[in-house]
Amino acid sequence: MEIILDVLAIFVLIVEVILLYQLRANRHELSAKVRSMVLFGIIVFPLLALLLGNYHVFVSSKESTTCQSCHVMSPMANDMMFDSHSQTLASRHYQNGWIAEHECYSCHADYGFQGTMKAKLDGYRHLMRYVTKTYTEPIRYRGEFNSMNCYGCHQGSRTFEAVDEHAPVVENLLGDDPTISCLNCHGRAHPEPSKRTPGSKEYKWLSDPKVKEVVNAQEVKDYINTLAASAEQSK
């Protein structure tokens, strides 16, 4: 698909160069109406297509499938979506349906208009880094995670407020210089970098959930064989 898009882009560029050349060479023979139509076709229309394309990228950046579509994000996405044994926060929230939609965006976008724009611009920056291959694995989160994103959802829930230890944490988070993160007590949001490093044994099944299914299936077979052997010995 990427090759098709590259070829199409080159084809459009060649056509536009030819149109510009023809317009310049025959500008005295063309009517004002025809020149306007040609200019619209080679300047206005491409700019409009560019704006619509960028708008589509910004809107689609809310979808978790957009994050999953990049190979470098596979370890995080597969852990979150497919590993039923994972205890990461992302996996528990996703697989228990605690976030109805836009799971990645809900946790990574700060609240308010500024937070929304920052999250979308970050997503666009990630896309550019991915397309230009200017990244290294394992990728790491830039800056510090904003625990207020957690509080924005959990605030007011009975199960959250029933835990006495949450009160001083909330007080700290609402202060001018918070020093506590929800991750301190509740564990990692995603698998640790060592598991997301190419070459590690965990990286194989985090990059391809089918490998994880095979591993789990073999574990089940081994467990059944162990039970059968134990039963045979007890006779």
Phi and psi based region of residue 133 (left: phi greater than 0; alpha: psi -120 to 50; beta: remaining): left
Interval 91-98 mean pLDDT: 92
Residue 224 has pLDDT above 70, yes or no: no
Nearest to 66 by CA among 5, 108, 112, 6: 108
Residue 174 has pLDDT above 70, yes or no: yes
For 46, residues 6+ apart whose C-beta sits below 8 A from its C-beta are: 12, 16
Residue 185 confidence (pLDDT): 92
Tokens linked to 125? 């920056």
Nearest to 109 by CA among 70, 166, 67, 80: 67
Min mean pLDDT across 45-49, 101-105, 114-118 is at: 114-118
Min mean pLDDT across 19-33, 69-83, 169-183 is at: 19-33
